[in-house]
Amino acid sequence: MCPEGPFLDMCWSLDMLLSGEAENAARYLKYPEEAANAGYGSKYAVYPWEIETLVSERLLAPKFVPAQAGFQKILNCQVYNAAANLVNELRDLENADAGIYLKRFGILYEMHRIAQRQFPVQAGFFNKAQYYRFGFIYGGPECAKYFESTHGVSINDFAFAAFALKSNFLNKPRFRGNPDMAFLGIDQAAVQNAVRLLCAPLDRAREEHKQDIAKVTANWGFSPPVAYRPSYLRKRPIIELHDGVMYCPLPELVALRTTAGLYYDLVGGPSHLRNEASKRFEMYSAEFVRKTTRFEVSDEIEYRIGQRNWRTPDVLCERNGAVLVAIECKASKLTYDAQFAETPAAFAKRGYEELAKGVVQLWRFVAHSRMGAGPKRADASIRCLLLTLDTWLAMSGNLKREVIAAAKELAKGEPDIREEDQRPIVFASIFDFERTLMDGSEETFLDAMDHAATESFTGWMLADVQRDRGNEKRTDREYPFEVADVFPFFAAIDQLKDEREGKSAG
């Protein structure tokens, strides 16, 4: 047992050691020299997903109550060995859990859960692409209006306040009091509303976290294993203790909460908000292709066959009048069950059905092109891509096969779709798609698409297929959008820097 404050200090320090900020960690944790800035793969490394799990488990443990008399055994959270022993115990517990649940299903499904837990964290949440992508998708006129009217702060000011808080938490794990951001142009009311979305008092965090796990337990019929329990820090990455001090053990999650996490602030709104976000995902994807390739790009086209209206896939990539790549976009939110249930396709049935419908949409386009009834001509070697906003099918060949099987069942109800129209489908998340186009050329992309759809590359990420094919990074192409276009506060930060540098030079 230990007080919550020192425990959260310790968790923050472990994250700083992995992040290359050992000097900051040294103020709160005594560690061996080998642990300083230990990177991924080091035996001294403690990974962010493990730290996240430690915090989750501490929220479930009894609150610390100081002994009124006599001795009390307390974990010394200021020494590395105590942290290392705790992490080793956690790993042993996770391995023991795995020994039980792997008797119920195959290791290939477990690879999907491991990927969901680890890959997004390794990619990072504090970068231009993360901010622009989700700022554009969730920052449309209707979503922005709903967010501000519901939460009392604009999306830009919310993200700006969070950015300032995260910057503070990169230097120290905690601070006391209400942050004053008037110098940034954010009034106090907006700051307080932003903090309310990011921070929860300890008692509330404990209670809501228990409720989250209880819901999963009721749904699954058993308690989720430790490694895959819901993380409260994804909803509110800052915890306020009873003395008024706010702690942020994983500052990177503040960036996640103000980008992809905007979904949580919109999900309770009317359906037209989700429709707007879905449409803007399609717009983003099409514009990304335009800015990073020389393909001729068409957006979704509505057309008519007989008495019925149809739509093409959302993005069509053409060359010489023929569609080489058809892309269907799915902005469905990756649910907890889709990530971590033992049988995701059963527990997140609705989401996977949407993916299957997307596959049919691609096949239908091929069929109508073959019939000469569509508005565009498909190339004989057309490639079909199902593009998702989240990582629905990371490292999971089995889930992809289930989606294809479901799509084939749906296609039986469409007489226009023949076996020859059911082209191989490549599945990719937008993050994977961005990496592929930014690192290669049109030809390496088409080559990767051709091979990613084969059985030998099932379960691979598209960018990794491109790399494995011997197509190492060929371009130094930068991310093609300006983040300040969707989050103006980045321009304000640059202006403040210029002003300070000017004064310093003067």
Between β-strands 322-330 and 296-299, what pairing exists: parallel, antiparallel or unpaired?
A: unpaired
Domain ranges of the chain: 4-264, 271-468
In 372-437, where do the E strands start and end? 378-388, 425-429
Res 504: pLDDT: 58
Tokens 């990927």: give the residue.
Answer: 115
Output the CA–CA distances (angstroms, integers) from residue 130 to 257, 386, 392, 430, in the order listed.
11, 20, 17, 10
Res 476: pLDDT: 67
Contact between residue 324 and residue 352 where contact means Cβ atoms under 8 Å apart: no
Res 474: pLDDT: 63
Structure tokens at 227: 């490694």
The Cα diameter of the chain in Å comes to 87
Res 475: pLDDT: 64
Give the number of C-alpha atoms closer than 13 A to the C-alpha of residue 90, restricted to the C-beta side: 21
DSSP letter for each residue of 164-221: HHHHHHTT-SEEES----GGGT--HHHHHHHHHHHEEEHHHHHHHHHHHHHHHHHHHS
CA angle 436, 439, 440 (to 5 degrees): 80
Res 290: pLDDT: 98
Query: 271-468 belongs to which CATH class?
Result: alpha beta
pLDDT, averaged per 10 consecutive residues of the chain (506 residues), comes to 92 96 95 89 94 97 83 91 96 96 85 92 94 98 97 95 94 87 84 94 97 96 96 96 94 97 92 96 98 97 95 98 98 93 92 97 98 96 97 86 96 96 97 95 95 89 92 74 96 79 60
Between β-strands 378-388 and 425-429, what pairing exists: parallel, antiparallel or unpaired?
A: parallel
Tokens 């300890």: give the residue.
Answer: 202
- Of 438, 315, 453, give the one whose Cα is nearest residue 376: 315
DSSP letter for each residue of 53-99: HHHHHHHHSPPP---SSS------TTBHHHHHHHHHHHHHHHHHHHH
Res 247: pLDDT: 98
Res 13: pLDDT: 97
Contact between residue 4 and residue 65 where contact means Cβ atoms under 8 Å apart: no
For residue range 414-436, list pLDDT tens digits in order: 999 999 999 999 999 999 999 99
Encode burial over 360-381: b for 16+ CB neighbours within 10 A, e otherwise. Answer: bbbbbbbbbbbeeebbbebbee
